[in-house]
Amino acid sequence: MILGFDPGRDKCGLAVIGLDQQLHYHKVVPAEEAIATIMALCQKFPIATLVMGDQTTAKSWKQKLKSNLTGVPIVLVDERYSSLEARDRYWQMYPPKGLKRLLPQGLRQPPRPVDDIVAILLIERYLQLRSRE
């Protein structure tokens, strides 16, 4: 299984996808709970790889993860435009209801943070890169 991690200063997105591309877990957690949540996910699921975004706070998060996780490779993935893509994916996963569905998609704002969906997208980008190799 692959653990996707979208690191941030205040909140982080997490997702777990199996090699069968089934989504087993996704959640946005406060940044201070991220390491503990990742450790718990590694105990719950057989995580083979941790995939994380390569922007904003990636270097400091990678250091923290390396000191807490042993034996799980950490792979950085390009996360450019992933937040915009995650907003679109949100509406695919949770189609709007009522009057919201009449608004053009570009004008709709998801009612919650989409960092967990970014984590899903990072895993998908990683799998695409691996399939090309």
- The residues, ordered by sequence, that sit 6+ positions from 103 with a Cβ below 8 Å of its Cβ are 96
Q: What is the mean pLDDT of residues 74-95?
A: 92
Q: How far apart are CA 23 and CA 123, in angstroms?
A: 10
The secondary element (H helix, E strand) that includes residue 120 is: helix 115-132
- 62-77 per-position pLDDT tens digit: 999 988 888 899 999 9
Q: How far apart are CA 1 and CA 113, in angstroms?
A: 24
Question: Percent of the chain scored above 90 by pLDDT?
Answer: 68
Mean pLDDT of the residues in the chain: 91
DSSP 3-state of 76: strand
Q: What is the mean pLDDT of residues 13-31?
A: 94
Q: CATH number of 2-132: 3.30.420.140, 3.30.70.20, 3.40.50.970, 3.30.365.10?
A: 3.30.420.140
Task: Supply the pLDDT for residue 108.
Answer: 83
The secondary element (H helix, E strand) that includes residue 77 is: strand 74-77
Confidence of residue 130 (pLDDT cuts 50, 70, 90): confident
59 is written with which tokens? 């270097």
Q: Is the pTM of this model over 0.75?
A: yes
Q: How far is CA 3 from CA 11, 103, 104, in A?
A: 16, 34, 33
- Residue bearing the bigger pLDDT, 55 or 16: 16
The domain limits of the chain are 2-132
Q: Which of 107, 58, 109 is nearest to 86 (CA)?
A: 109
**CB of 74 closer than 8 Å to CB of 52:** yes
